[in-house]
Amino acid sequence: MRRSIRARMGLSALLALAGLGGTLTSLAPAAASPASAATARTSARATAPASAELVGVMARDLGLTRGQARERLRDEAAATRLEPAARRAAGAAYGGSWYDAESGRLVVAVVGTRGAEAVRGTGAAVRVVRHTARELDAVKAGLDRTARAAAAPAGVTGWRVDPRANRVVVDVRAGAEHAAATEAFVARARRAAPGAGVVVVSVRAADRAPATFAAGTVGGDPYYSHNIRCSIGFSVYGGFVTAGHCAQLGAAVYGWDGSYVGNFQGGTFPGNDYGWVNVGSGWWTVPVVLGWGTVPDALVRGSAEAPVGASVCRSGSTTHWHCGTVLAKNETVNYSQGSVFGLTKTNVCAEPGDSGGSFISGDQAQGVTSGGWGNCSSGGETWFQPVNPILSRYGLTLQTA
């Protein structure tokens, strides 16, 4: 990659501090690592102290003081480490989990008192609910099958399991809630539900319909291909992952400076939003997410999944660095091009050109920007494609520090 001083002295310092001595080109060979993709999906390590700049951005975007932002980062890291054990303790009674910002604790929904006691033993808070996650996931999976067989109606913008409400939520565009196709879709969901009130409808304003954030020949780092600009997600051994809606199989990809990087080796959209590009021709990969001068560039140390309610930050080539919280997981989003399954919803803003960019929580990779509504002036919501399914789909290994 033919970077000059723009290659960022701070990046070199980060890598040196991480004990990754040697030249940049030796850090990430273009050939695939023999390590399996499963190696990347480890539990979260102890989180390093957050930079003053990151704390400042979180305080700005989440409405916190700096002290509150630091405390929240510590609490979220603890909740992320605790979640797998709490889920195992709940067993078949598991009803979902989330991070509660008010108490600073992981909350686990369970069906019945026996599961509740086991979960409390792990240190997590408990909410007793009526439906298990398996029941709710089955209802959502039925809607996904319907959407795969035939496009969901345009009046339906998406659907998801809401663990805090213990319901399946179908989002409907305002003005379309009484359309025959919309009512039929909701009725189908309710017929498949295990009990009354399991499926609820949320009406969204017409200007809040989700759309992807690719951009036509306009600007982590930007890349250019087949007349679009998108953003790099995360480095993997041999390349980088990004959004599938930016991909055109085999198409050449060019970097910020116009030099050739590689080609799209895979891309899926709609259905999923998976994409990856091989890297060579003088370019290299590093386990870093760009902070754009707003925060220091962030080292990537793993891909442990943050819980609902946790803070998350996004880096993209248009709007750079912004933070927010995880609102929902495994949501199906009905874009104009078709439904995409398994996305994570956040209240982080984004704009065209940010597609494919990095979502990171602490030092853990979360996913690549898929789409959303709104902008970074008036606010909005953004969905990301979780990174671990992309790694698994293509047999890739996340590059970590």
Digit-coded pLDDT (tens) for 27-85: 232 333 333 333 333 443 445 677 888 899 999 999 999 999 999 999 999 999 999 99
245-294 residue pLDDT tens:
999 999 999 998 888 999 999 999 999 999 999 998 788 888 999 998 88
Q: List helix spans (H) across 169-237.
A: 180-191
- Decide if 110 contacts 95 (C-beta within 8 A): yes
Model confidence at 17: pLDDT above 80: no
Model confidence at 7: pLDDT above 80: no
Model confidence at 25: pLDDT above 50: no
Model confidence at 131: pLDDT above 50: yes
For 54, the domain range is: 1-85+199-401
173-201 residue pLDDT tens:
888 888 999 898 888 888 888 887 888 88
- Decide if 186 contacts 157 (C-beta within 8 A): no
What is d(CA 379, CA 399) in angstroms, rounded to the nearest whole number? 32
Give the residue with greater pLDDT, 16 vs 163. 163
Does residue 250 fall inside a structural domain?
yes
Give the residue with greater pLDDT, 45 vs 377. 377
Lowest mean pLDDT among 10-19, 75-84, 118-127, 261-270: 10-19
φ and ψ of 249, to 5 deg: -50, 125
What is d(CA 94, CA 129) in angstroms, rounded to the nearest whole number? 9
Does residue 261 fall inside a structural domain?
yes
Cα dihedral angle (134, 137, 142, 147), rounded to 10 degrees? -160
The Cα-based distances of 104 to 54, 76, 99, 119, 180 in angstroms read 19, 7, 7, 17, 44
Q: What CATH number should be reported for the domain holding residue 256?
A: 2.40.10.10
Cα dihedral angle (80, 85, 87, 88), rounded to 10 degrees? 160
Lowest mean pLDDT among 1-5, 312-316, 324-328, 380-384: 1-5
Does residue 141 fall inside a structural domain?
no
Confidence at residue 215, expressed as pLDDT on a 0 to 100 scale:
53
Answer yes or no: pTM beyond 0.85: no
Confidence at residue 6, expressed as pLDDT on a 0 to 100 scale:
36
Does residue 219 fall inside a structural domain?
yes
Model confidence at 309: pLDDT above 90: yes
Confidence at residue 35, expressed as pLDDT on a 0 to 100 scale:
35
pLDDT, mean over the chain:
85
Active-site option among 100, 171, 245, 297: 245
Give the residue with greater pLDDT, 324 vs 401. 324
Confidence at residue 166, expressed as pLDDT on a 0 to 100 scale:
95
- Report long-range pairs for 38-43 (Cβ below 8 Å, ≥24 apart): 39/397, 40/302, 40/303, 40/388, 40/391, 40/397, 40/398, 40/400, 41/302, 41/303, 41/304, 41/388, 41/391, 42/302, 42/303, 42/304, 43/81, 43/84, 43/302, 43/304
Confidence at residue 21, expressed as pLDDT on a 0 to 100 scale:
29
Give the residue with greater pLDDT, 7 vs 347. 347
In this structure, what DSSP letter does residue 230 have? E
326-346 residue pLDDT tens:
999 999 999 999 999 999 999
Model confidence at 217: pLDDT above 70: no
Active-site option among 61, 75, 221, 273: 273
Of 212, 222, 258, 217, the closest CA to residue 352 belongs to: 212
| Encoded tokens for 81 | 């480490």
Does residue 101 fall inside a structural domain?
no
Any catalytic annotation for residue 281?
A: no
Does residue 314 fall inside a structural domain?
yes
Does residue 259 fall inside a structural domain?
yes
Give the residue with greater pLDDT, 295 vs 38. 295
Give the Cα-Cα-Cα angle 60, 65, 68 (nearest 5 degrees): 115
What is the rounded end-to-end Cα distance, in angstroms, of the chain?
20
Does residue 129 fall inside a structural domain?
no
Confidence at residue 213, expressed as pLDDT on a 0 to 100 scale:
63
| Encoded tokens for 153 | 């109606």
Model confidence at 13: pLDDT above 60: no
Active-site option among 355, 358, 361, 370: 355
Any catalytic annotation for residue 100?
A: no
As beta bridge partners, residue 64 has none
What is d(CA 252, CA 265) in angstroms, rounded to the nearest whole number? 10
Number of domains into which the chain is organized: 1
Confidence at residue 34, expressed as pLDDT on a 0 to 100 scale:
32
Model confidence at 397: pLDDT above 90: yes
349 falls in which pLDDT band (50, 70, 90)? very high
* Residue 52, Cβ density class (10 Å: 0-12 exposed, 13-18 middle, ≥19 buried): exposed
Of 29, 33, 40, 1, the closest CA to residue 386 belongs to: 40
Model confidence at 306: pLDDT above 80: yes
Any catalytic annotation for residue 61?
A: no
Confidence at residue 342, expressed as pLDDT on a 0 to 100 scale:
97
- Decide if 399 contacts 303 (C-beta within 8 A): no
